[in-house]
């Protein structure tokens, strides 16, 4: 499942929002905190292990599995869900994309339930980056 949006923002502005756990709540209000995934106040770090707090209640374990500075990062959330977060320059601004992968039938269930929310969140991130 992949959701993307075009933003008139620079890749740097989009990256600052998508790569820093302390800024995730600005565009993903269901994320109420994260720890262990970045250096203090910084960007996600490859190999970092921690958790993300969903809805202010549920801590979900996460591992940052790959980082291409300024362009993309991937994490494994829980035991089997992987998500890529990508910013890429494009005519007119920056393409922001999130791709979710999981084994079937979980992939199908997440696409149907979480997919629409991811679409909204990517568009929100595109707007927030443009405002920066």
CATH code where residue 85 lies: 3.30.530.20
User: Treating both helix axes as pointing N-terminal to C-terminal, what angle do 115-131 and 11-18 enclose, rounded to 10 degrees?
Assistant: 130
Question: What is the separation of C-alpha 51 from the centre of its chain, rounded to a whole number of angstroms?
Answer: 14
What percent helix, strand, coil does the chain show, rounded to 5? 30, 40, 30
3-state DSSP of 29-64: CCEEEEECCECCCCCECCCCEEEEEECCCEEEEEEE
pLDDT tens per residue, range 102-112 = 999 999 999 99
Alpha-carbon span 41 to 2, nearest angstrom: 28
pTM for the full model?
0.94
pLDDT tens per residue, range 22-80 = 999 999 999 988 999 998 879 999 999 999 998 878 899 999 999 999 999 999 998 89
What number of residues does the chain have? 132
- Number of structural domains (the chain) is 1
Q: Are 129 and 94 in contact (CB under 8 A)?
A: yes
Range of the domain at 91: 2-131
């Amino acid at each position: 499942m992949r959701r993307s949006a075009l933003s008139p923002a620079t890749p740097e502005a989009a990256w600052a929002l998508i790569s820093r756990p302390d800024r995730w709540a600005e565009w993903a209000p269901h994320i109420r905190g994260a720890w262990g995934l970045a250096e203090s106040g910084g960007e996600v770090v490859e190999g970092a292990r921690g958790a993300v707090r969903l809805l202010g209640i549920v801590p979900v374990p996460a591992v940052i599995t790959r980082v291409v500075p300024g362009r993309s990062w991937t994490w494994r959330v829980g035991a089997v869900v992987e998500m890529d977060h990508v910013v890429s320059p494009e005519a007119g601004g920056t393409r922001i994309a999130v791709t979710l992968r999981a084994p079937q039938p979980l992939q199908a269930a997440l696409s149907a339930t979480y997919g629409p929310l991811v679409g909204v969140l990517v568009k929100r991130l595109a707007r927030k980056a443009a405002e920066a």
